[in-house]
Amino acid sequence: MLTMQNLSPPAGAPINASPLCPNCGRPMHLMRIETRTEGLTDVHIFRCGECGVSLAEAAKRKPAA
């Protein structure tokens, strides 16, 4: 089953810059979010549209509500 996520931040939320490609230095695009369970942080997968390099990084934790 496919699950859709709204990747747009809510209005007024700060804009987080995507990482720069380690190969060409251009901003990378968020391709997908790997949702984790058991208290682990999600993993964001970025890809460079220019040279095709992919990068995975842990998402920043949300503050406890």
Query: Residue 18's pLDDT is what?
Result: 83
Query: Residue 38's pLDDT is what?
Result: 82
Q: How do residues 3-59 score in pLDDT, each as one tens digit?
A: 555 555 556 655 567 889 999 999 999 999 998 888 888 999 999 999 999 999 888
Domain assignment present for 50: yes
Give me the number of domains the chain comprises.
Answer: 1
Q: Is 52 left (phi over 0), alpha (psi -120 to 50) or beta?
A: left
- For residue 43, the SS3 value is strand
Query: Residue 53's pLDDT is what?
Result: 93
pLDDT: which is higher, 29 or 2: 29
User: Which residues constitute the domain of residue 33?
Assistant: 29-58
DSSP string for residues in the chain: -------SPPTTPPPPPPPBPTTT-PBPEEEEEE---TTPPPEEEEE-TTT--EEEEEPPPPPP-
Domain assignment present for 6: no
pTM of the shown model: 0.64
